[in-house]
Structure 1
Amino acid sequence: MKKIVLIGMLIGAVALNGMAQTRAGQGQNDPKAKSILDNVSKKFQSFKSAVVNFVLKVQGGNNSVNDSQKGTVYMKGAKYKVSLNGQDIISDNKTSWTYAKDVNEVTINNVDQNAGAITPAKLFTNFYDKDFLYRLDGETTEKGKTYQNIELTPTDKSKNFFKVILSVDKKSQSVARIKMFEKNGNQYTYEVTSFTPNAAVTDATFTFDAKKYPGVEVVDLR
């Protein structure tokens, strides 16, 4: 599994590109699940910044691929930086930089403000409320923690995934794990290992300074 695919899984964890289809005739949302999701969103939005360490696990259909990588997400408002196994994706909400360490190359793009893709900050807020049907799928206890598991299904059936399981830590009211199931049998699990709210993150974290990377090849697509 290519590393850029793994980072793309985090940035677009539920691949919400384009307009959501109407919910008419597709069922109703579970008010208990909505209450939990709203509480998670409200709490996250009260933080000025956050640093999240995570493990991303990939399991291919018929066990064809098994991969696990650690990474870190830095967030401040709409700005973010994702560091994962030799690659960084950085955005100041105007410009995005994708840096590949192994080839010392950075690709620069403008941020499309109209895009529907999920960013790390949206992942912890109300990304669910327009593009999914959701229901509470019970509680589980793991290592002394109680998780409220919410099943989300995309209203747009053309997506390459058919289900997302979002696990919320009942005590802290924060996202603990996200598991996405693709139609081809692949499964992606994004598990939070530590969450630091109101971390000391400077604005310089969310820009790419080419001077700090001697010999870097710049691919400017703006």
Structure 2
Amino acid sequence: MSMKNLYVTGALLLLSVFSFAQQKDPKAKAILDQVSAKFKSYQTVSANFAYEIANAAGKVLSKKSGVVQMKGNKYAINLGNNKIISDGVTIWNYDPGAKEVTVNSATASEGTITPQKLFTDFYNKDFMYVMDKDGTVGGKAVNKIIMQPIDKNKPFARVYVAVDKATKNIISTTVIEKSGNRYVYNVSNFKTNTAIPDATFTFNKAKYPGVEVVDLR
């Protein structure tokens, strides 16, 4: 390839990246707004999730699965025997291997990531987004959306979101780091408005004898 063609190709690539960075595709926003509104209408949500981490070469580094439950601003994540629990005021992170639970204050700051934010309007301030080609995930017809962080200092370059066309729920998210590492999250068995007791969202130390409490508040 000639030097001239290299310059042209480079310029087109930069133009493409710049063009993406300026976009908030109205069709993508409409779908994401539907997802957010639908999620906010639920009293409770419980779902299974699985995630896979692969490096830039495609080698799978880790696979895990778990269950998440949400009620208002409360949530409980069971990842094997590990638990992350929040009543909206306090967050408990239980590690059975270390026989330890760390305690932090839940904050309302925009930087705090909760499961609820991943299903609602996290995209409004932090991302530009465009439509990708529709497809299927787990046999379900989905809309696919490509998202790019506005803050270039973020460690990830792109986020790919798949929205179930029928339910308007996010069922798959893929995060691509700048290093090339890929994190794939899939959601299944999505149940809404089932009774979940509030005790689910607090850590009862009496049920875990011998656990050390590390209070970081």
- Report the TM range for the smaller structure's normalisation: 0.7 to 0.9
Is 1:190 aligned to 2:185, yes or no?
Answer: yes
Structure 2 SS opposite 1:69: strand
Distance 1:135 1:65 in 2: 28
Cα contact 1:140–1:148 (8 A) shared by 2: yes
- The Cα shift of 1:118 comes to 2.3
Is 1:214 aligned to 2:206, yes or no?
Answer: no
For residue 198 of structure 2, what is the amino acid of its counterpart? D
What is residue 10 of structure 2 aligned with on the other side?
none
What is residue 137 of structure 1 aligned with on the other side?
132
> Which has the larger share of helix?
2
What is residue 167 of structure 1 aligned with on the other side?
162
For residue 96 of structure 1, what is the amino acid of its counterpart? I
Is 1:153 aligned to 2:143, yes or no?
Answer: no
For residue 126 of structure 2, what is the amino acid of its counterpart? D
Is 1:105 aligned to 2:106, yes or no?
Answer: no
- The Cα shift of 1:112 comes to 2.2
Distance 1:186 1:113 in 2: 29
Cα contact 1:50–1:199 (8 A) shared by 2: yes
Structure 1 SS opposite 2:57: helix
RMSD: 1.5
For residue 92 of structure 1, what is the amino acid of its counterpart? D
Distance 1:142 1:92 in 2: 32
- The Cα shift of 1:70 comes to 1.0
Distance 1:27 1:62 in 2: 30
Distance 2:128 2:62 in 1: 29
Cα contact 1:162–1:181 (8 A) shared by 2: yes
Cα contact 2:144–2:162 (8 A) shared by 1: yes
Count of matched residue positions in the alignment of Structure 1 and Structure 2:
198
Distance 2:35 2:108 in 1: 24
Cα contact 1:118–1:127 (8 A) shared by 2: no
- The Cα shift of 1:143 comes to 4.9
- The Cα shift of 1:62 comes to 2.4
- The Cα shift of 1:66 comes to 2.3
**1:176 corresponds to which of 171, 191, 205:** 171
**1:56 corresponds to which of 33, 48, 51:** 51
Structure 2 SS opposite 1:129: helix
Cα contact 1:149–1:168 (8 A) shared by 2: yes
- The Cα shift of 1:64 comes to 5.1
Structure 2 unmatched ranges of 5 or more = 1-19
What is residue 7 of structure 1 aligned with on the other side?
none
Percent sequence identity over matched residues?
A: 46
- The Cα shift of 1:63 comes to 4.0
What is residue 23 of structure 2 aligned with on the other side?
28
Structure 1 unmatched ranges of 5 or more = 1-24
What is residue 65 of structure 2 aligned with on the other side?
70
- The Cα shift of 1:144 comes to 3.7
Cα contact 2:76–2:200 (8 A) shared by 1: yes
Structure 1 residues 60 and 144: alpha-carbon distance in aligned structure 2, compared to 1, 3 A threshold: closer
Structure 2 SS opposite 1:208: coil
What is residue 7 of structure 2 aligned with on the other side?
none
Cα contact 1:52–1:74 (8 A) shared by 2: yes
